[in-house]
Amino acid sequence: MTQPGTPSPAGRISVAEASQRSQAVLDEVERAVVGKRLPLTLVLAAILAKGHVLIEDFPGLGKTLAARSLARVLGLDFARVQFTPDLLPADITGSFLYNQKDGSFDFRRGPLFTGLLLADEINRTPPKTQSALLEAMQERQATVEGETFRLPEPFHVLATANPIEYEGTYPLPEAQLDRFLMRVSFGYPTTQEEHDVVTRRLARGQEDVDLDQVTDAGGLSAMQAAVEIVTLDDTVARYCVDLATSTRDHKDVLTGSSPRGSLGLALAARGFAVVRGRDYVIPEDVKAVSRAVLSHRITVKPELWMTQASGPRVVDAVLAEVPTPRALEQP
């Protein structure tokens, strides 16, 4: 792995430059999404780590606004799919249509072929259609009628979901949940933040917020390349593994995190470190992303559904039990 201080390869930017751009992105997005700096930081860290994010929260808390704002500020092509019970897989991937002029079948690309896809209310469509995203999220490609099409680079899915106890929703399959690097919740704003939302809207005189583009697809790719040179000490890597494996032994857990959770912790922590302006990962970076990375990979025993047992609580317990590596100094 490249050590800190090593010149970046041609076509890449330094970690310091990537950090500056990250802060500029967050500052601009916060003009539209008020008071959600930490959740937005987690989402951006996941994008820098080339991951996908599930934003799960109650209606009206800014999930769709955050996704649309990030796409604008990052300069990515943006497409939104409103997931409904009658949505078909072909409505996402696209399909072959008959061309009467020459008698051939031409492929018409669906909204999947974009830079940032907003899968709005993903849990309102049946699992068959939800699964249409599996190949795209993992392989960055889509196969339609036996023919494979590459997706643009970079490609990211930001999915929103309402809590599964709401009527008319379908729990996401475990295989698809595992494809999301993070699951993030915004939560209700404070009274002051909510007041700021109202006063800003009245002052603008319009619904939309005009956000400035900070970077573009090429710039984001360069930022993602900078994440790859961030140092992850072996003790921190073992800490990631210990956290993930400990979820499998917890008394409330039916199935714990898969090995993808260990890798997700390492990758997300590197992205988080870049946003925080460091070219090396410290244990606090891992802790900061642990809830978002691990909680949705944990299945609590079904007999505990009436209790307060949950994925986030298991992660909190594991964080308290697993010894934290000694604080690292900059290499």
Return left, alpha or beta for 11; rule: phi > 0 is left, psi -120 to 50 is alpha, else beta: left
Q: Write phi, then psi, for 119 (nearest 5 degrees).
A: -90, 90
Helical ranges in the chain per DSSP H: 15-29, 37-48, 63-74, 90-93, 127-130, 134-139, 174-177, 191-204, 217-227, 234-246, 259-275, 283-294, 311-321
Cβ distance 164 to 86 under 8 Å? no
In a domain, 255, yes or no: yes
Based on the number of CB atoms within 10 Å of its own CB, is 134 exposed (0-12), middle (13-18) or buried (19 or more)?
A: middle
Domain count of the fold of the chain = 1
**Residue at 319 is within a domain:** yes
- Determine, yes or no, domain membership for 294: yes
Residue 199 domain-assigned (yes or no): no
The amino acid sitting at 221 is S
Each residue's pLDDT, cut to its tens digit, for the chain (331 residues) gives: 333 333 344 457 999 999 999 999 999 999 999 989 999 999 999 999 999 999 988 888 888 899 999 999 999 999 999 998 899 999 999 998 888 878 788 889 999 999 999 999 888 888 888 888 888 998 999 988 888 999 999 999 999 987 755 666 777 878 788 899 999 998 888 899 899 989 988 888 887 888 999 999 999 999 999 999 999 999 999 999 999 999 999 998 888 999 999 999 999 999 999 999 999 999 999 999 999 999 999 988 888 877 888 889 999 999 999 999 975 555 4
Residue 279 domain boundaries: 231-331
176 belongs to a structural domain = no
Residue 297 belongs to a domain: yes
Q: Evaluate whether residue 243 is within a structural domain.
A: yes
Question: What single letter denotes the amino acid at residue 62?
Answer: G
Q: What is the CATH number of the domain that holds 240?
A: 1.10.8.80
Inter-CA distances, 250 with 63, 243, 247, 253, Å: 31, 11, 5, 6
